[in-house]
Chains A and B, each alone.
Chain A
Amino acid sequence: MNNNQLIKTSLYDLHIEHNARMVSFAGYELPIQYKGIVAEHNHTREQVSLFDVSHMGQLIIKGKDFASTAKALEKIIPANIIDLQQGEMRYSVLLNENGGVIDDLIITRPTDKQATDGTIFIVVNGATKANDFKFMQANLTKEIKISFEEGKSLLALQGPKAASVLSRFSDIVEKLSFMQSDATSIKGIGCNISRSGYTGEDGFEISLNNKDAPKLASILLDEPEVEFAGLGARDSLRLEAGLCLYGHDMNEEIDPISASIIFAIGKHRRLEGGFIGDKKIQQIITNGAKQKRMGIIFDGRMPVREGAKLVDEQGNKIGYITSGTFSPILQKPIAMGYLPTEQAKIGTKTTAIVRNKQVNGEIVKMPFVANNYYRGN
């Protein structure tokens, strides 16, 4: 794609001003780093970082009341949506008929302050949003209207100091626990705030009008604890947090049970079905998945990255790595990959091949770095 065709987010000028190195990602021109990935990564773990994630798809689903919108969505999303309370959020997926993951997403039932009854918010990945939209439109009943939020930006404020920074501007912060959302106003700028993110840290995602986004970003960056962080740090942070990246750690060929994200499927919905791919999912739950996504820590310092083979003692391929990096916190190579279920056990040794050399590792429990979500008072 030619750079001229890339979409610039509302914070583009601010990124340039902060010496961002811009890259093409999901059809957008986005910052991969400012001062450096490791510095931004560590800053997020210790203080608080601001990420521009405006490339992500912010969808509005609208029916006549909450129950009818939730019911319609439950046909295409295997989460328990009907029981969501106002302001509650849930992680889930879109599945194809084979139970393969079309995308992962976050559903929010807005509060009365955020939207009228019958509205549900969904945030999907940037690279998949057009496809998701088509899929949802094709599979939702006509009474349900679906659209992208027009002219909205999405900022993520992530890190252990995120709450103390944001509470200087809004009293809503202390009322929100992890995976809760509400509307607020920051220095006169209206926005939706969710206590969520993809770094493993406490933090918030802020949805607001494009025209206000540079102002709010500057207000936050003016706080002494806050620095910009780019896509590079976002990737190494989510990896340490053991979180899947769509298109890498899962795709349409991989079901949520194999991807170790069965929590994306509501408990009673696993039994009752009633969503696209239900038969296949029930089959996999009954018979067990053939492979599993696991976390691996490797010896030495050499990163083991996406595409590396995992082999048995005879050198036969038994699995593969789907993402990997050098963990700035652990100072060790960490990776996620798929292994046959019988070998996907914590504590089991495994071997990867990188540039024709064997690298030894051990399967470990994820997250690699303990998460720091705020689960309530």
Chain B
Amino acid sequence: MKYTSEHEYVKTEGDIGTIGISDYAQNQLGDIVFVELPEVGKSFNKGDEIAVIESVKAASELYAPISGTITQINEELDIEPALVNSSPQDKGWIFKIKLSNASELDELMDEEAYASHIG
């Protein structure tokens, strides 16, 4: 599992990355009431706005942590967005992306670096 400084995680299996937000991030956002998911088949460059997470209080953009093409989205979130709160790194994953540049993963933080990032 790798993390960005914006609190997204990337879990890779082969050339597919599963992306969501960290437990720290869901806790900071509070009750999540809506997740605007990207379209399957759409390509993004690292840093592009890719999804929006809405809590009761505010909307927060999610930026692509790596470049690639969306292969799958978590449609469960349309019905139960609070899965991002209750199970951020498992049932609350947000989308899967086919990596177009796997070397970008090297720029992300590992668990230990992320833990010290959130202090």
The residues of A with any CB-CB pair to B shorter than 8 Å are 32-33, 36-39, 41, 232, 235-236, 301-303, 305, 325-326, 328, 355
Contacts and interface: CB of A to CB of B under 8 A. Distances in A.
A325 B33 CA distance: 9
Contacts of B52: 355
B47 to A, nearest CB: 18
B34 to A, nearest CB: 4
Contacts of B78: 301
A328 B52 CA distance: 19
A41 B81 CA distance: 18
Nearest to A325: B56
Contacts of B58: 305
B36 interface: yes
Contact of B30 (A33, A302, A355): A33
B30 A232 contact: yes
B54 interface: yes
A38 B31 contact: yes
A177 to B, nearest CB: 32
A32 B28 CA distance: 12
A303 B30 contact: no
- Residue of B34, B54, B55, B56 contacting most chain A CB atoms (<10 Å): B56
Interface string B22-66: 000000001101101000000000000000101111110000000
Closest 8 CB pairs of A and B: A326-B33, A38-B31, A301-B34, A37-B56, A302-B34, A303-B54, A37-B31, A36-B31
Contacts of A41: 56
A232 B56 contact: yes
A236 B30 CA distance: 14
A368 to B, nearest CB: 14
Given A302-B36, A326-B34, A355-B36, A236 B81 contact: no
- Residue of B55, B57, B78 contacting most chain A CB atoms (<10 Å): B57
B54 A326 contact: yes
A235 B31 CA distance: 14
Nearest to A357: B36
Nearest to A233: B56
A258 B59 CA distance: 28
A33 B58 CA distance: 14
